[in-house]
Every structure is written in structure tokens, then in C-alpha cells.
Amino acid sequence: MKRSAFTESVTTARRRFFDSGAEPRGLVSDTILASWRRCLQQGLAADARPAMVPIERHAMDELQERHELLRRLCRPELEMLYASASQAGSIVVLTAPDGFILDALGNADFLDKAARVSLQPGVPWSESSTGTNAIGTALVERRAVEVRGGEHYYAPHHVLSCSASPIFDPHGQVAGVLDLSGEASVHHQHALGMVQLVVEQIEHRMFEHNFAGADIVRIQPDPALLGTAREGLLVFEGHRLVAANRHALRLLGIDWGGLGKCRYDELFASTLPQPGSIGGMRCQSGEMVHARRDAPRRISIATKPPVHTRIKPVHSPATFFSDELEVAINRSVRLIDADIPLLLQGETGTGKEIVARELHRRSSRAASPFVAVNCAALPESLIESELFGYMPGAFTGARREGAPGLLREANGGTLFLDELGDMPLAMQSRLLRVLQEREVTPLGGSRAHALDISVIAATHRELADLVARGEFRADLYYRIAQAKLRLPAFREHADPAEVIRQLWLALGGAQIPMQLGHELVNHLAALRWPGNLRQLVGLLRSLMALGEVGATLSINDLPPDLGTDRVPLSSTACAAAPGNLHSLKQQAIDQAIASCGGNVTAAARQLGVSRSTIYRRSDRKRSD
């Protein structure tokens, strides 16, 4: 369509839509029309001048620092586009995932004009803030979008012609947006295609960065394109697809929702090539592709890592789940997928959050958010606002823009309520109502927001006993504990020595390499470990950090308190004087606080309870 015809078509469409309320079908694209509708439904007035003020300098510094990795990975492409944009009278824009502009580079004259319409760092260009625009609409649509002249919602932006594409990370989450903007009077015919090609290169580099040294499978029908930004990239974990790029998804005929769900045999009808080799593979669709499988890099035995090398935490707990726990986890996944709430029970340090995350990873919601809420760590005065969110100005000290709350952040995914037994009774009542009605109303608000969440709760306390004593609501207990999974304490494992060996391997002991001596393993297996797996993992990581590469560690490498003595289960509980249950608990708390020199945090750690539990019982003691 010629420029004059395009302008006339858009002008007619605006007149029909905004003045007459008619549908201007055929005059603008369905994408633009859908965006106009969304903006209108949000109450944005098209004839208004949007108030788009950059955030303050310190906030801008924090924003850029928070997304420094994204900016660094995009820098080569930004510099390349900067040269082209300067000559073409355009600018290139990089935004954060929420639409806030991080960088704007390009033609100096157009930069000044763009700044007058707030196309500059620190300004939000989400659709809800700025109406129909390439950046915000691309975020909503999750695909590349072009918005020219009068297609922009607000009149001041009609001077712009913009092409933008979201940048996806290997897990399908939006990492940012790349935009190329210029004068609306000049139609940059190839701008959108150029942006899409550049984003492909950025996503390829991001994938390589995130999975450096991993077992990456690269696929392409054309073998000449293997190793380029046009190849498909896949990562499998336990035969399940956990990461991919857009080219791979397109070749396999699936979308981002397949991550965490699709198994290898559901995607391919042939086996993987050996690591480090190239071979042909047949997709289940029947299409043949060429595949190259990277050989995972390992640290050479002859190379001693520097002293300051950090030991990575366990990222794949499934490597040391017992056979019995594996069966229980798989059973629990089926319950969660059937929308049945699950309660995890176990002593402190048994890995309740690790299991919860693994349940989420194996569930049908794996590609959606996992939001963990520590009910014991949140101050009682903030639990309500943190969980349920609040409207602007709902209370003194509230953020000006309000907050959605953790429940809404988990929408579509999994909500993990850790240490639920320590939630105050007043909050239990409101949480129960949210779980029953599947909707939440923020503080200071009148409109309820629908919730679609899977719920996993966890506690080290016996909720049934708390219900019997009136310290936990019975109706919430029966709602949250429709299914239960108890995690064993370390001392309850049938073969604790084997658990230690598996933990050591999961932490990377074989890759360094460094070995645990047989006598050391047996010694560690005989200890009580009141902190369970958390305490044990902490010790193993310390041994790994301090040991010499190639060494076989012995009892002599242990800290003094673990070298000869057996760790008691709990000195506090054994020292309690006779009395009723409440007095015994209070005496235990008093003795723990005294033994820790008044340090409540240390006392809580010694007792295996939360700080809020100690504070509440201390308040109850004073009131008595």
C-alpha cells in the first residue's frame, strides 16, 4: 500500500473506531485493532497526551544494573544496528521485560525528536502505559509487531514508525524487547525483518551463555546452517525437553508450553547422536533433520581450579531422590495435575522446597511461574499485603503504583506455601477464602481477580496437633492437606552412606575430581544430622571448597566438632523440666535463647522453628 493510501486508510479507521464506535475491519490489521480494543477497555483516552516521565536517575541505574546481562548479550547487535540506524535517521531501542527502555541509540537528530515523545531510557512503553505501540504490543502478542504512524494509540506518537520483537530466553520467558524506530513519513520497508534477524542472533547467544558446556542438541534440515543463529537448539533433562529456541520449536511443531512436558520419544523417532558427533534424526512428524550434539565440557584432572572458585549448589535434586521418594513424587505429580492440593511434611532441612520445585518441574504447569512464600519469614504486619497485593495508596508506605501480590504472581503456575504452620490465624481465614473461591481482592481494592494456581504447602510442624490445640484452622487444614507427602529425616534413610555418595556426585565431586574416603562416608552416615540434608550439603560443599583436586578426603578433613563426636538429636528437648506441653515448649525456648546469648535467630535455628514462632510465644508469655 502506498504511503498516502496507508495514511488515508488509518485516518478513516481511527474516525470510525474512536469517533463512531464502529469496527474498521479491513482498514487496519487485526493486531492493531485488537490493541486499540485493549487500550479502550483499560480506560485510555486516545485524545489525551500521555504523561510519560522517565524514572529518577538512581532508579534508572538500578534498572540498568538489574538487566546488565541482557544489555551485555545484546551489545554486538545494538552496535551493529546503531551504525545502520544513524545513517537511516532512526534509533534502536532495548527494553526490559516490562517495557521500560534500557538503551536508545542512533541518529542524533531523531534521538532528540524521539525524546520529545518520551522514547528515551527510563520511560515505560508497555501497552497499558503508552497505548498501542510496537514495544508494548509485541509484549502482549509475544511476537514481532510493526506499528506505523496513526496506528499508534496516542496522537503524539503518530510521528513514529516502529518495528519491535520480543527476545525470548531458552525457557520461553520474555527477556526484553528490541525496537527500531524512525520517522513515520519514511516507511522503513525492511525494518521488521532486520529486527527479527538480529533478535535471532541475540537469542542464540543467550542460549549459548545459559547452557555453556551443557549437552545441547542442535538441529537443522540444512546441515550448512548448523552452528548459525538459524539452527534449532534443544536441551533435555531426564529425557524431558527443558529448554529450546524458536527455530527448534518451529521444526518440531510445538510451542513454549511443551517445555517441561514433552519427552524425547514424543518428538523424535530415532536416537540421539553420540556427544560430539553429527547424525541424521527423524522427527515424529516424519521430517528428517541433521543433528549435532555437543560434548559436555568437564574440568581436566590436571587443572587445579583457583582457590576462589565457587561451588555451585545442587540444581538437579532428582539425582539423589531415593527410589521410594521417586515413586511418591511421580504419584504426587498426578495429584497436582488433577488440582488436588498437596502438603509436604518433614523436619527442617529435609528438602521440602527442593521437592516442591521438582513437583512443579514435572507438572503440567512447568512452563508457568513457581512462587515460593515463606509464611514464617514474612513479618505478621506485611503478610496480608505481600500475599494479596494492594492498590495505590492503600496504606502508609505503600508503593505509588500498588503491587499485585504473590498470589497473583503465581497465577497459571504453582504457589508454594512454606512453613504454613506458622501463619497467623487471622491470615489463615483469608487464605482459606482465596483457595475456596479461586479469586483474590487486593487491599484497598473492590474488584476480585481470578486465580488459576496449583497449591503445595509445607511445614515441619504437625498440623493435626495444632488443629487439636486450636492453633491452626481445621477447615484450612482439610483444604490444604487433601494429599500428603512425608519427607524422611536423614537418619531414617535405609542407606545413609549411599545418600551421601549421591549428594557428593550431585554437587560435582566427580567433575573436580575429589573423592570421599570409605571411612569418612561411614563416619558421616553414623552422625545424627539434626539439620538433615541442608546441614549435610553445607558440610559437603565446605569439604569440596577446601579440599585439594585429586585428593581422597578423610575424617581428618572434617571440622573439629564432627571429627570425633556424634551430634546429639537435641540437647534442649532432653533438658526440659517436667510440666505441661506449653510450659515445656516455653522452657525449651527460654533455654535456647539463653544458650545463644539472646540471639533469637540462632535460637530458632537450634530449635528448628521460625523466629516468628519464638516472638509469638514470647508475647504470649508476657501477656500471661
**Which comes out higher in pLDDT, residue 469 or 310?**
469
Decide: 97 and 129 in contact? Cβ < 8 Å. Answer: no
The upper half-sphere exposure of residue 452, i.e. CA atoms within 13 Å in the direction of its Cβ, equals 8
> How long, in residues, is the chain?
624
- Ramachandran angles phi, psi of 183, nearest 5°: -70, 135
Non-local (6+) Cβ contacts of 458 within 8 A are 343, 344, 345, 346, 352, 353, 356, 416, 417, 418, 419, 420
Rg (CA), the chain: 29
Distance CA 386, CA 408 (A): 10
User: Which residue(s) pair with 282 in the sheet?
Assistant: 288
pLDDT tens sequence across 539-548: 888 887 777 7
Quick check: helix, strand or coil at residue 362? helix
Which one has a higher pLDDT value, 565 or 467? 467
DSSP-derived 3-state class of residue 160: strand
Confidence check: pLDDT of 508 > 80: no
pLDDT value for 569? 35
Residue 43, burial from CB neighbour count under 10 angstroms (0-12, 13-18, 19+)? exposed
Bond into 513 cis (ω within 30): yes
Distance CA 462, CA 459 (A): 8
The DSSP code sequence of 264-325 is HHHHBSSPPPPTT-EEEEEBTTS-EEEEEEPPPP---TTPPPPTTPPPPPPS-GGGG--HHH
How far is it, in rounded angstroms, from Cα 121 to Cα 342? 45
pLDDT-derived band at 444 (thresholds 50, 70, 90) equals confident
Digit-coded pLDDT (tens) for 338-374: 989 999 999 988 889 889 988 998 898 888 888 888 8
Cell of 102: 534500557
Q: Sign (positive/negative) of CA torsion 172, 174, 177, 178?
A: negative
Which residue would you say has higher pLDDT here, 504 or 314?
504
CA distance 548 to 553: 9
Residue 161, Cα to own-chain centre: how many angstroms? 34
110-119, 192-201, 225-234, 356-365, range with the lowest pLDDT: 110-119
- The CATH code of domain 571-623 reads 1.10.10
Query: From CA 281, how far away is CA 264, in angstroms rounded?
Result: 12
* CATH code of the domain occupying 32-202: 3.30.450.40
**CATH class name, domain 323-486:** alpha beta
Hey, what's the cell of 385? 499485603
66-75 confidence digits (pLDDT tens): 898 899 899 8
**pLDDT number for residue 306:** 34
Nearest to 430 by CA among 473, 397, 467: 473
User: How far apart (Å, rounded) are the C-alpha atoms in residues 429 and 446?
Assistant: 19
Residue type, 82: Y
Question: Quick one: average pLDDT of 240-247?
Answer: 93
**C-alpha cell at position 84:** 545502520
- 132-146, 255-269, 373-387, 492-506 — which is least confidently predicted? 373-387
Tell me the residue type at 353. Answer: E
Which sequence spans correspond to the domains of the chain?
Answer: 32-202, 211-293, 323-486, 571-623
| DSSP code per residue over 427-470 | HHHHHHHHHHHTEE--BT----EE---EEEEEESS-HHHHHHTT
389 or 555: which leads in pLDDT:
555
Nearest to 437 by CA among 453, 421, 423, 417: 453
607: pLDDT strictly greater than 70? no
Contact 160, 90 (CB under 8 A): no
Q: List CB contacts of 250: < 8 A, sequence separation 6 or more.
A: 232
Does pLDDT of 41 surpass 60? Answer: yes
**What backbone phi and psi angles, to 5 degrees, belong to 472?**
-150, 140
309 pLDDT tier (thresholds 50, 70, 90): very low
Q: What is the pLDDT of residue 581?
A: 40
Task: Extract the C-alpha cell encoding 287.
Answer: 521430517
- 318 near 358, Cβ under 8 Å? yes
Q: Which spans in 99-234 are helix H? A: 108-116, 127-130, 134-141, 191-210
* DSSP 8-state symbol, 389: -
How much is the mean pLDDT over the chain?
81
Residue 100 has pLDDT above 90, yes or no: yes
Least confident of 96-110, 150-164, 434-448, 565-579: 565-579
pLDDT in tens, 2-38: 667 888 999 999 999 999 889 898 899 999 999 999 9
Q: What is the mean pLDDT of residues 397-419?
A: 79
CB atoms under 10 Å from CB of 582, counted, come to 13
The most distant pair of C-alpha atoms in the chain lies apart, rounded to whole Å, by 92
Strand pairing category for 414-418 and 370-374 = parallel
Q: At what angle do helices 581-595 and 600-607 cross, to 10 degrees?
A: 130
Q: State pLDDT tens for residues 109-118.
A: 776 777 677 7
Listed range (11-15, 232-236, 508-512) with the worst mean pLDDT: 508-512
- Beta pairing, strands 454-459 & 449-450: unpaired
Arithmetic mean of pLDDT, 509-514: 67
* Lowest mean pLDDT, pick from 96-100, 113-117, 373-377: 113-117
- In this predicted structure, what is the pLDDT of residue 84? 72
Give yes or no for a contact between 40 and 128, defined as CB atoms under 8 angstroms apart: no
Do 32-202 and 323-486 share a fold?
no
pLDDT at residue 143, rounded to an integer: 95
Type of residue at 70:
L
- Eight-class DSSP state of 20: I
Assign 573 a pLDDT band (cuts: 50, 70, 90). very low
- The H or E element that residue 415 is part of is strand 414-418
Confidence bin at 595 (pLDDT 50/70/90): low
List 372's β-bridge partners, or say none.
Answer: 416
* Mean pLDDT of all residues in 321-332: 84
pLDDT top residue among 252 and 502: 252
User: How far is 591 from 576, CA to CA, in rounded Å?
Assistant: 9
| More reliable by pLDDT, 221 or 618 | 221
CA of residue 288 relative to chain centroid, distance: 34
Report which DSSP code applies to 167: E
How many beta carbons lie within 10 A of that of residue 359, not counting itself? 26
Lowest mean pLDDT among 64-78, 279-293, 608-622: 608-622
* Secondary structure E strands in 130-246: 145-148, 160-168, 174-183, 216-220, 232-237, 240-244
Summarize the chain as % helix, strand, coil (round to 5). Answer: 45, 15, 40
What pTM did the predictor assign?
0.51
